[in-house]
Amino acid sequence: MNSRRYVVLYSMTLLLSASLLFVIQPMFSKMILPLLGGTPQVWNTAMLFFQLLLLGGYAYAHITTKFLNIRKQGILHIMLLLLFFLVLPIAIPDGWVPPVENDPTLWQLSLMTITIGGPFFVLSGSAPMLQHWFSNTEHKDAHNPYFLYGASNLGSMTALLAYPIIIEPTMTLGQQSHYWMYGYICLLLLVLLCIRMAWKKSVKTLKEQSTVKVETITWARRWKWLFLAFIPSSLMLGVTTYITTDVASVPLLWIIPLALYVGTFIIVFARKTIVSEEKIIDNFAYLLIFTLLYLMLGGPTGIILVPFHLALFFFGALVCHMALASSRPNAENLTEFYLIMSIGGALGGVFNALIAPNLFVIPIEYALVLGAAACMRFVNVKQQKTHPLYILLGLVVVGAVTWGIRIEAMSIKILLAFVALVGLGASLKKRWVFGTTITLILLIAPPGDIWDHFSRDVIHHDRNFFGVTRVIDMEDDLRTFVHGTTIHGTQSLNKKYEYTPLAYYAAESPIGDMFSFVSRQEGNQKIGVLGLGVGVTACYYKDGRSFDFYEIDPSIVAIAENPDYFSFLSGCGSPYTVVQGDARLTLATKKDAVYDFILGDAYSSDNIPIHLITLEAIELYLQKLTPNGFLGFNISNKYLDIEPVLAEISEELNLPGYAKLTWGGKIEGTEIQYNDTHGFAFARNKEQEDFLLANGWSKARKRKGVDVWTDSFSNIIGVIGPFTAGNRMEELRRKEKSDTQE
């Protein structure tokens, strides 16, 4: 076999191995997401698991390379591939239910270990092992097999991008699992061919290898590899949490940062230099400077900045990975290099998934690690002694930004921003001055305004597996509950309006309409509410009416039941029970036909747990309703248009679906405000349908490209866009204003 065929075979094998490795990540994470309430922390924990198993696979490759010849190593690898084939196709075993009162992190890690741990482990060891085999062939590039790492990462990126664009929209989870198994079988055959070639064409026996002079690796160099691998790993998880908190914890938004992360490896380990290290270092610095000036000048935040943060992460990771690739050892130490690199990546996962949520009450880790990345610029360049004037210049910049953030006058802000720009530009090439200055400023003014958690108006803040919660006293005597960056409940501190439903629950809202209809029914009533918030719906009081609130986050329960924060549950007089755990899983244990009204209103920040709005979920809710029971949802959202999803399900179930958008406003005679609200209801009989039509509801709007969502199929791309309730209300406002002016 000629040398070109070596490259083709090994590249194909590495590409397929990496593809399988990176398809299984979003696929299995999506499988377990419904069990854990759809929180973004599920992905962080999953990434921790994948990084730990990757570390295990690299350790397996390193140890077997050190103590076994290629023939014995190949036999062992094939045996493990065959052994773990026995657990395929991948599925969640029966009986696995997450703990209700304890942090589910260890439960999730245990589940992933017994289901995909074996296949993931053996696939993880394939990349360094196959490169080691190639380095022992007669190919002319055998001395530098690192270019094959590019083929491996190309497979990783291809799989990651294919998942949300091709695999997820066209296959159920069951189909994905079976096709993955077929790919595993193909890999097994390719690995056999690679082993056969390595046995036949190896030019270095184990004895010959022992005579080769091995490059000496210092501990300082190892620590450098470790830290350069840690930063991008942590940064990837930080930016993923940052962008998924307000949209949805779904494969699309997990995959984009991970694909960029993998893409940096393709660039830095390519045979030919794609882009110079100097340009990467400079572009990262420019993006950092722009970030700080933007935060300082108070530019708008939210989803509009997602592409920018992704670019910032990409260049930060590229700076570190380029420095990592520049200091890689010779082929003889290849497996050790990958092992230490994987340790750094795993530590990044441990930091973000386990340490940061317990160490930091606020999500400061993204800003902290971004600053660490800034300090890695020119890490491979020996720096001259820094003149004290540069240190003074850095302090001036920090002072200018700190002052600029706290003042209101825009003219002074602009002047101070100019001072900061000049100072940062002057210290651009000074690694430690620039990096330390950037880090200090990011801690003073991190993305997301997280220091607001400690303002005098914040009376409570907490953080756990499910996110960050705050209770804030606002202007106009309003107290709000904020989850992530989204208001999930409001109460007036004015005693006269203390028990008046506000925010999305005002009497004028679609939710008010739903309760108005239910109140027309006679007799005792039982109401099920998916998502507790601050318990405001308990103030839709009626004699004989009781509430079951389903809530997965124990910190939300503690806030809602504490009358020092909110008094809806304690003061409105409605008997209630809080059922802790995932709403769908716990509701499934209830008797059928028990509820007169079920209201779906479960969000994590603006993130929708998708498993609560699938076809199977709606069928479950209908089972739990009395024959004349009512089913409705609060679907108000800044970024996702949920109406067409429920419209498709209503058509599938042959139940008319209706939706309504209402304006926000003020309680008459006061300055107390309530919000724009978007509601959805299923009409189960003519009485419900007539009521909805009489109260301004309209037939649910469908949308091209949106199909029925099921437990094994959903397509988030189809519902992101300009048709969300918030955007439609803004359009109506602009039109109304235009008509008034005319």
456 pLDDT tier (thresholds 50, 70, 90): low
Average pLDDT over residues 203-209: 46
Report the pLDDT value the prediction gives residue 353, as an integer from 0 to 100.
78
Question: Which of 166-175, 220-229, 430-439, 462-471 has maximum average pLDDT?
Answer: 220-229
What is the percent of the chain where pLDDT is above 70?
A: 85
Place of tokens 């056969």: 196
b/e burial code for range 406-416 (CB count within 10 A of at least 16 → b): eeeeeeebeeb
Name which of 70-79, 175-184, 209-218, 429-438 the model is least confident about.
209-218
Question: Which of 155-159, 446-450, 525-529, 552-556 has maximum average pLDDT?
Answer: 525-529
What are the two backbone dihedrals, phi and then psi, of residue 580, each rounded to the nearest 5 degrees? -85, 140
- Using CA atoms, how far apart are residues 582 and 531, in angstroms rounded to an integer? 9
Average pLDDT over residues 24-37: 79
Between 725 and 324, name the one with better pLDDT: 324
pLDDT in tens, 242-281: 776 654 445 566 678 888 888 888 888 776 777 777 888 8
pLDDT in tens, 320-338: 999 888 888 887 777 788 8
- Using CA atoms, how far apart are residues 13 and 18, in angstroms rounded to an integer? 9
Query: Comparing C-alpha atoms, which of 49, 141, 181, 25 is closest to residue 104?
Result: 49
- As a CATH number, domain 1-205 is 1.20.1250.20
Report the pLDDT value the prediction gives residue 515, as an integer from 0 to 100.
95
**CA-to-CA separations, 156 to 145, 149, 150, 260, in angstroms, rounded:** 18, 10, 10, 11
Per DSSP, the three-state class of 12 is: helix
Average pLDDT, the chain: 82
Same fold? 1-205, 460-710: no
pLDDT in tens, 169-201: 788 888 999 999 999 999 999 988 888 776 655
pLDDT in tens, 350-369: 888 788 877 777 778 888 89
What are the two backbone dihedrals, phi and then psi, of residue 176, each rounded to the nearest 5 degrees? -60, -45
Q: What is the CA radius of gyration of the chain?
A: 28
Q: What is the DSSP letter of 100?
A: S
Query: Comparing C-alpha atoms, which of 582, 617, 572, 622 is closest to residue 602?
Result: 582
What are the two backbone dihedrals, phi and then psi, of residue 21, each rounded to the nearest 5 degrees? -65, -40
Q: What is the DSSP letter of 720?
A: B
- Using CA atoms, how far apart are residues 163 and 128, in angstroms rounded to an integer? 25
- Using CA atoms, how far apart are residues 529 and 680, in angstroms rounded to an integer? 14
> Does 719 have pLDDT greater than 70?
yes
With a CB cutoff of 8 Å and minimum separation 6, the contacts of 109 are 45, 48, 49
> Does 4 have pLDDT greater than 90?
no
Q: Which CATH superfamily is domain 460-710 in?
A: Vaccinia Virus protein VP39 (3.40.50.150)
Query: Comparing C-alpha atoms, which of 9, 22, 63 is closest to residue 266?
Result: 22
Place of tokens 């270095």: 204
Query: Comparing C-alpha atoms, which of 128, 151, 120 is closest to residue 29?
Result: 120
Name which of 201-210, 342-351, 629-638 the model is least confident about.
201-210
Give the global pTM.
0.69
With a CB cutoff of 8 Å and minimum separation 6, the contacts of 225 are 324, 327, 337, 340, 341, 344
Q: Is 467 exposed, middle or buried (0-12, 13-18, 19+ CB in 10 A)?
A: buried
Between 209 and 186, name the one with better pLDDT: 186
Cβ pair 572, 604 in contact under 8 A: no
Domains of the chain, by residue range, sit at: 1-205, 388-452, 460-710
Question: Which of 424-433, 438-447, 537-546 has maximum average pLDDT?
Answer: 537-546
Cα dihedral sign for 556, 559, 560, 562? positive
Report the pLDDT value the prediction gives residue 425, as an integer from 0 to 100.
79
470 pLDDT tier (thresholds 50, 70, 90): confident
Tokens of 39: 């929180």
Distance of CA 208 to the CA centre of its chain: 49
Cβ pair 359, 243 in contact under 8 A: no
Q: Is 46 exposed, middle or buried (0-12, 13-18, 19+ CB in 10 A)?
A: buried
Cβ pair 581, 14 in contact under 8 A: no
With a CB cutoff of 8 Å and minimum separation 6, the contacts of 707 are 648, 713, 715, 718
Between 336 and 137, name the one with better pLDDT: 336
Query: Comparing C-alpha atoms, which of 697, 722, 547, 545 is closest to residue 640?
Result: 722
Cβ pair 443, 529 in contact under 8 A: no
Report the pLDDT value the prediction gives residue 209, as an integer from 0 to 100.
47
Report the pLDDT value the prediction gives residue 262, as an integer from 0 to 100.
83
